[in-house]
């Protein structure tokens, strides 16, 4: 189980920004600083706080979402990856990410980085020494244990004492830099083969002397290993990379239903980043999310009642008013913080009418009960909202009626036992209900 000090880091599911959706492997320090400044000015009052630099920050030539196989990575004499100075100039002189982390901390935010499981291939080929041990990289690596989608690293032998020494050394380095969040890749769905390495990594992180959130990727996570995920990490991905396609959002409802019972203080099933605003900017600066406004409301509503971590994927500095309003709706973010025992109540599909409606509910820790109504039906072409009916019986609310407030609009009304709401195709509405006294 997690120590109480570690749980205190994330009393609620983390909220932040990650560079992957907008800049892939090619993000630069300038872009990170600008997004941090925008978050501090516009989003920090709403609870957004993490700024996370995603994959291949040690690659001098990385420019897009496409990986460069076998590229020359920047590392120190002990095989520990360090930021590429041409992309992160403040890392010069052996400073690593310390100056960037200090700047982000000065804004009142927290700093995170992506890492891959294992040790750099180049460190193994050069047989570099492992810091603080008598071992070398070649002695601890498993050359047959390679990520199938990124060849930068070799996995480590969890039975070799030098492997723990290597992980201890990198987390000691990250602690010196001031890192608050680790996104650990190539491990979540790789069970049971990588279970030993995950346990070792978790133990090294917890022993480094600095509190850090541990987020593990990629998904889909395996339900039979839920106990291991909770024991070793704070966040685990329940999906592969989530992008701005309706079929992926539609699929998330089944995933969220499957994992809802595993959400709690210090451990969060992760539905992945929110691909909103400007994304894929390394391909075309004009690219923006393909999700419609209604689909973005659906996504945000599901993520918040389910209490997934919220990691914005788009470039914050290019947000329009709608996107900004999407992530600053106080009542929706309160649901993200206060929802308890969230679960799907029913899912009704009518093949003949080509309709599909979903009802979720959760207890509000601050009082009352949440309900989220989703219209998963495709738009028949007229854009008309569907009338969806649910009842206080569905929500197990006693009494003759309730006061109901729609959280996106703020509209309030008194309702009796049966309730009818209008929801557009691919849209959602969220409500707080307080029983009438």
Query: pLDDT (tens digit, 9 = 90+) per residue, 84-131?
Result: 999 999 999 999 999 999 999 999 999 999 999 999 999 999 999 999
Answer whether 116's CB lies under 8 Å from 123's CB: no
Q: What is residue 417's predicted lDDT score, i.e. its pLDDT?
A: 92
Taking residue 293's Cβ as centre, other Cβ atoms within 10 Å add up to 15
CA-nearest of 38, 8, 20 to 104 is 38
Q: How confident is the model over 275-284, as a mean pLDDT?
A: 96
Beta sheet of 213-216, edge-to-edge order: 268-270, 235-237, 213-216, 181-185, 110-116, 50-53, 15-18, 310-312
Residue 1 reports pLDDT greater than 50: no
Q: What does the DSSP assignment read for 130-149?
A: PTTSS-BHHHHEEEEEE-SS
Residue 8 reports pLDDT greater than 70: no
Q: How confident is the model over 296-313, as a mean pLDDT?
A: 98
Q: What is residue 204's predicted lDDT score, i.e. its pLDDT?
A: 97
CA–CA gap between residue 335 and residue 363 (Å, rounded): 9
Residue 380 reports pLDDT greater than 90: no
Q: What is residue 177's predicted lDDT score, i.e. its pLDDT?
A: 98
Residue 174 reports pLDDT greater than 60: yes
Answer whether 38's CB lies under 8 Å from 316's CB: yes
Residue 3 reports pLDDT greater than 80: no
Residue 307 reports pLDDT greater than 90: yes
Q: What is residue 253's predicted lDDT score, i.e. its pLDDT?
A: 98
Taking residue 380's Cβ as centre, other Cβ atoms within 10 Å add up to 12
Mean pLDDT of the chain: 95
Q: How confident is the model over 65-76, as a mean pLDDT?
A: 93
- Name the band, by pLDDT with cuts 50, 70 and 90, for residue 190: very high
Residue 4 reports pLDDT greater than 60: no
Q: How confident is the model over 51-67, as a mean pLDDT?
A: 96
Q: How confident is the model over 198-217, as a mean pLDDT?
A: 97
Residue 407 reports pLDDT greater than 60: yes
Q: How confident is the model over 301-323, as a mean pLDDT?
A: 98
Lowest mean pLDDT among 184-198, 287-301, 382-396: 382-396
DSSP state letter for 70? T
CA-nearest of 120, 128, 200 to 154 is 120
Residue 224 reports pLDDT greater than 70: yes
Q: What is residue 2's predicted lDDT score, i.e. its pLDDT?
A: 38
Write down the residue that tokens 């709608």 correspond to.
322
Q: How confident is the model over 385-397, as a mean pLDDT?
A: 95
Which of helix, strand or coil describes residue 184? strand
For 211, the token pair is 């509190």
Does residue 306 or residue 6 have the better pLDDT? 306
Q: What is residue 382's predicted lDDT score, i.e. its pLDDT?
A: 78
Q: What is residue 9's predicted lDDT score, i.e. its pLDDT?
A: 52
Q: With residue 4 as reference, give the H or E element that holds it.
A: helix 4-7
Q: How confident is the model over 177-181, as a mean pLDDT?
A: 98
The neighbouring-strand residues paired with 156 are: 141
CA-nearest of 258, 290, 256, 291 to 272 is 256
Residue 7 reports pLDDT greater than 50: no
Q: What is residue 12's predicted lDDT score, i.e. its pLDDT?
A: 86
Q: How confident is the model over 212-223, as a mean pLDDT?
A: 98
Q: What is residue 317's predicted lDDT score, i.e. its pLDDT?
A: 98
Q: What is residue 50's predicted lDDT score, i.e. its pLDDT?
A: 98
């Amino acid at each position: 189980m997690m120590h109480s000090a570690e749980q205190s880091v994330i009393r609620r599911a983390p909220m932040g920004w990650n560079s992957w959706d907008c800049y892939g492997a090619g993000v630069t320090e300038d872009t990170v600083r600008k997004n941090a400044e925008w978050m501090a000015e516009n989003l920090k009052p709403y609870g957004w706080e993490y700024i996370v630099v995603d994959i291949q920050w040690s690659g001098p030539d990385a420019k897009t979402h496409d990986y460069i196989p076998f590229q020359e990575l920047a590392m120190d004499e002990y095989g520990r990856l360090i930021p590429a100075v041409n992309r992160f100039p403040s890392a010069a002189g052996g400073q690593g990410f310390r100056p960037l982390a200090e700047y982000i901390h000065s804004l009142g935010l927290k700093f995170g980085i992506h890492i891959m499981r294992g040790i750099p291939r180049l460190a193994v080929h050069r047989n570099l020494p492992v810091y603080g041990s008598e071992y070398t990289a070649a002695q601890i690596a498993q050359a047959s244990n390679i990520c199938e989608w990124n060849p930068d690293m070799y996995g480590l032998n969890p039975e070799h004492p030098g492997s723990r020494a290597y992980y201890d050394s990198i987390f000691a380095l990250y602690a010196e830099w001031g890192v608050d969040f680790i996104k650990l890749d190539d491990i979540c769905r790789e069970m049971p083969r990588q279970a030993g390495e995950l346990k070792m990594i978790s133990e090294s992180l917890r022993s480094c002397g600095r509190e850090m959130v541990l987020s593990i990727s990629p998904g889909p996570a395996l339900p039979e290993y839920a106990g291991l995920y909770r024991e070793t990490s704070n966040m685990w991905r329940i999906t592969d990379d989530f992008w701005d396609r309706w079929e992926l959002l539609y699929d998330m409802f089944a995933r969220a239903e499957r994992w809802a019972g595993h959400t709690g203080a210090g451990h969060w099933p992760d539905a992945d980043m929110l691909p909103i605003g400007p994304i894929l900017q390394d391909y075309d600066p004009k690219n923006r999310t393909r999700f419609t406004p209604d689909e973005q409301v659906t996504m945000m509503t599901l993520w918040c009642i389910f209490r997934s971590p919220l990691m914005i994927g788009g470039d914050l500095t290019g947000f329009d008013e709608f996107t900004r309003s999407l992530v600053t709706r106080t009542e929706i973010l309160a649901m993200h913080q206060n929802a308890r025992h969230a679960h799907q109540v029913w899912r009704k599909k009518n093949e003949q009418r080509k309709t599909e409606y979903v009802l979720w509910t959760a207890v509000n820790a601050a009082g009352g009960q949440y309900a989220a109504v989703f219209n998963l039906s495709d738009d028949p072409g007229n854009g008309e909202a569907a009338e969806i009916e649910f009842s206080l019986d569905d929500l197990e609310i006693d009494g003759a009626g309730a006061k109901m407030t729609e959280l996106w609009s703020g509209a309030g009304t008194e309702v009796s036992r049966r309730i009818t709401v209008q929801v557009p195709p691919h849209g959602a509405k969220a409500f707080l209900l307080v029983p009438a006294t």
